[in-house]
Amino acid sequence: MADKDLLRIRETALAYAEAVRTTQRFFDRVEDLDDPSVQAEYANLAQREKEAAGARLDAIDAAGIEVPSVDSSDNDA
């Protein structure tokens, strides 16, 4: 079971990293941020990143990995 969880985490992390790299490469070639096609393509890329991030977090949660939020308002930490 743990091996399946780890494999899923690796796969989803890789997919998320690739989605982010795709967005980075997109901005490397963009010349006009006001171009409606640029904005539309970015919207699609941002959605892919969001979905990939969600899948990655789901895989981590399914494996039972919990990390306290770094944004926690708990001052006892």
Tens of pLDDT along 17-70?
A: 999 999 999 999 999 999 999 999 999 999 999 999 999 999 999 999 987 775
Q: Using the structure block, give the residue that is written with the tokens 């969001």.
A: 50
Q: Is the pTM of this model over 0.85?
A: no
Residue 5 and residue 62 in contact, taking contact as beta carbons nearer than 8 Å: yes
Handedness of CA 50, 55, 59, 61 (dihedral sign): positive
Residue 50 and residue 31 in contact, taking contact as beta carbons nearer than 8 Å: no
